[in-house]
C-alpha cells in the first residue's frame, strides 16, 4: 500500500493555514459567526448536519487557535456566546474569494446536468 505524501513542515504557510481552518465544518462555522455572535444552540441550528459533539470539538479548536472568542456568562441557566476574533474576521475575504471561485464549480455542475437530460 502506498502512503500519501503530506506536508508536515511547520514553516509552510499553507500547511499552517489548513491545519487551523481545514476540514468540513470550520469554514461553515466561521461563516455563520461572521454574521453575528451566536449561542451554541443557535450555531447548532445554523450549521446543518453537524452533530453537537463535533460542533463542540470544532469550536474548542477554533477558540484554541484564536479565531473564535468564547464568552461565558454567570447566569441561570448558564449562557455561552461565540464570536469571531480579529484573526477570525481576517478569513472572511479569503472565504469570499473561495466562494466566488465556487460559483464556477456550480455553473459547471449545472452544465453537466443539462447535458445528461
> Which segments within the chain are labelled E, that is strand?
38-39, 68-73, 79-84
Could you report the per-residue pLDDT of 53-96, keeping only the tens digit for each?
999 999 999 999 999 999 999 988 889 999 999 999 999 999 88
The angle that helices 52-64 and 26-35 make with each other, rounded to 10 degrees, is: 80
Q: What is the pLDDT of residue 3?
A: 47
Beta-bridged to residue 73, according to DSSP, are 79
Rounded-to-integer distance, Cα 34 and Cα 93, Å = 11
Q: State yes or no: pLDDT of 99 exceeds 90.
A: no
What is the rounded average pLDDT for all residues in the chain?
89
pTM for this structure? 0.79
Q: What is the pLDDT of residue 6?
A: 56
For residue 81, what is its C-alpha cell?
A: 456566546
Amino acid at each position: 500500500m502506498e502512503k500519501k505524501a503530506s506536508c508536515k513542515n511547520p514553516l509552510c504557510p499553507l500547511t499552517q493555514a489548513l491545519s487551523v481552518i481545514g476540514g468540513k465544518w470550520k469554514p461553515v462555522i466561521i461563516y455563520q459567526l461572521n454574521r453575528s455572535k451566536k449561542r451554541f444552540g443557535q450555531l447548532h441550528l445554523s450549521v446543518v448536519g453537524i452533530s453537537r459533539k463535533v460542533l463542540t470539538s470544532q469550536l474548542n479548536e477554533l477558540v484554541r487557535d484564536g479565531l473564535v472568542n468564547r464568552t461565558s456568562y454567570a447566569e441561570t441557566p448558564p449562557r455561552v456566546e461565540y464570536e469571531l476574533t480579529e484573526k477570525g474576521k481576517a478569513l472572511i475575504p479569503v472565504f469570499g474569494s473561495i466562494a466566488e471561485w465556487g460559483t464556477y464549480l456550480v455553473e459547471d455542475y449545472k452544465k453537466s446536468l443539462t447535458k445528461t437530460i
